[in-house]
Amino acid sequence: MNQKLKVTVGILVIVVALGYWVVQGVAGNEVYYLTVSELPARKADLTGQRVKIGGIVKTGSIHFLNPLNVEFLLAQGEEAVSVKYEGATPDMFKDDSELIVEGIFDGQTVHADLLIAKCASKYETEHVHDDSTARSKEA
């Protein structure tokens, strides 16, 4: 009986420790995803937080300070947010490209450490209309 109690307590301690470890690992890793137009309403809550923001690179706003340091505006409608990024930019990074940036928002600027550009539509497959259903109904 004493041995069963020791095993049960040991298993319980391991389960509690693993649960605590999982909760601590997840607690600091959540990232808020929003669009540029949603940012002004949440500005106070998100200042100093890690964010992921989707939008369009505003035409004429890209300024390379050096090959691995760029500043630009990410826009949606009339709203825009300044982004500073240090690192290699994706090949599809250009004016009017769809982009997701991830980094720390300081209340005015996103200091991004990740840029994800949407592939241009020329890489999307062309929709092919299948007439086989229509033909079988006509017969």
Q: What is the pLDDT along the chain (139 residues), one digit of tens a residue?
A: 688 888 888 899 899 888 888 777 666 566 778 888 888 888 888 888 889 999 999 999 999 998 899 999 999 988 999 999 998 888 888 999 999 999 999 989 999 999 998 876 555 555 555 554 444 444 4
Q: Provide CB contacts within 8 A for 90, sequence distance 6+.
A: 115, 116, 117
Q: Of the candidates 72, 79, 84, which has an alpha carbon nearest to the alpha carbon of residue 38?
A: 79
Residue 84 confidence (pLDDT): 95
Q: Of the candidates 47, 51, 53, which has an alpha carbon nearest to the alpha carbon of residue 106?
A: 47
Domain 30-120 of CATH type 2.40.50.140? yes
Residue 49 confidence (pLDDT): 87
Residue 51 CA to residue 91 CA, distance in Å, equals 23
Residue 40 confidence (pLDDT): 87
Residue 6 confidence (pLDDT): 85
Q: Of the candidates 64, 84, 65, which has an alpha carbon nearest to the alpha carbon of residue 73?
A: 84
For residue 22, what is the DSSP state?
H
Residue 115 bridge partners (DSSP) = 101
Residue 64 confidence (pLDDT): 92
